[in-house]
Structure 1
Amino acid sequence: MEEKSYKEYLEHITTFIFDVDGVLTNGSVLVTATGDMLRSMSIKDGYALKTAVDKGFNVCVISGGSNEGVRIRLNGLGVTDVYLGASNKIEQLNDYFNKKNIKSENVLFMGDDIPDYPVMKAIGLPCCPQDAVPEIKSISKYISHKKGGKGAARDVIEQVLKVQGKWNGNYNAKYD
């Protein structure tokens, strides 16, 4: 039986789930003298996340990190399902699926490292940034040409929304 192209999954995606460090950020942290850990997130990824929420998609973040600044940023984009400090991401995934009545075949998850492996094996369309670790690349149905924190989330969201005719392609459109 021939493996399906990742593009065949795009029209059925209703839910986007992302890891944070290495996916929505470049995986680096700047540690201040007071011990705060600062991360950098792409504005273009943020625009795509907000667009997906505005178009009615489920958008969720499951991260092992526990930086509340990340939650504030994501909540500001309309992403309210944010699981931080997730030591066992599959538990949060199952909780989210039950809460929202989501089927795994309608989910795109983007991860970059070993803690994402179990979740990626449990969903329909596992994806990763170009700079993910080899183990994650080996199970991904799509590897973005973008690196984590540098537009990888935008890449997959834009592809799904374009296939479903929901991308804001008109530059004259009003963006509120």
Structure 2
Amino acid sequence: MAKSYKEIMNHITTFIFDVDGVLTDSSVHVTQNGEMLRTMNIRDGFAMKAAVESGYHVCVISGGSSEGVRIRLRNLGITDIHLACPDKVAAFKEYIELYQIKPEEVVYMGDDIPDYHVMQLVGLPACPYDSSPEIREISKYISHKNGGEGAVRDVIEQVMKLQGKWHVYYNGKHD
């Protein structure tokens, strides 16, 4: 019998996220200079920082490239940032090998076809509500939130609550 997503969440040590469509709402605003600006949800950022400070591995793997995104993620304490990544599966395998992480301990949240193959390798493939049909089909957890609108916060908060770390974090008792 297949495990429920809540059973899998009990063993999560690592969160990996795509950027566009997961940390953002898939929109880009293009300036006259050709710079592409993205909007990120502040609550997603709070949850990512909480996860880092609570000892979880947090990684971002994205095909997109933006120095602004890199700076935002670094300010949250995330050090494993793979932007302009042509092969997400290779980046994932290198990452888990580096930190000796078992694939079944990983949540990977993606939203579209470039995330498909890496999502098949993890314990908990997850996606925002507004993800492509192919990604929704293989996801064991579909957030009730859209990309860029709290889907990242949703999955992190659920894992941390199940593991008894969320309330500890926000009560100021974390290390």
Structure 2 length normalisation: TM-score?
0.96
Q: Could you tell me which residue of structure 2 aligns to residue 95 of structure 1?
A: 94
Q: In structure 2, what is the Cα distance between the partners aligned to 1:47 and 1:8?
A: 25
Written as runs of structure 1 = structure 2, the 5 A alignment for 1:76-95 is 76-95=75-94
Indicate yes or no: 2:73 matched with 1:74.
yes
How far 1:173 moved relative to its partner?
3.7
Name the residue aligned to 2:11.
12
Where 1:147 maps in the other structure, the secondary structure is: coil
Q: CA deviation at 1:171?
A: 6.2
Q: Which residue of 2 aligns with 1:124?
A: 123
Which amino acid in 1 is paired with 2:133? P
Distance 2:42 2:76 in 1: 11
CA distance in 2, matches of 1:5, 1:58: 22
Q: Who is 1:22 aligned against?
A: 21
Where in structure 1 are there 5+ consecutive unaligned residues? none
* Shift of residue 68, structure 1, vs aligned partner: 1.1
The C-alpha deviation readout for 1:113-152, integer Å capped at 9, x for no partner, is 0000011001100000000000000000010000000000
Residues 1-176 of structure 1: pairs in structure 2 closer than 5 A = 2-168=1-167, 173=172
RMSD (Å) for aligned C-alpha atoms: 1.6
Flag as ranges the 4+ runs of structure 1 deviating above 6 A.
none
SS at match of 1:108: strand
Equivalent residues of 2:112, 2:135 under 8 A apart: yes
> Is the Cα–Cα contact under 8 Å of residues 50 and 169 in structure 2 kept in the other structure?
no
- 1:9 partner letter: I
- Counterpart residue identity of residue 46, structure 2: Y
Shift of the alpha carbon at 1:88?
1.1
Distance in 1 (alpha carbons) for counterparts of 2:103 and 2:2: 18
Q: What secondary structure does 2:126 align onto?
A: strand
Structure 2 residue ranges without an equivalent (≥5): none
- What is the CA deviation profile of residues 11-70 of structure 1, one whole-angstrom value per residue up to 9, with x for unaligned ones? 100000000000000010000000010000000000000000000000000000011111
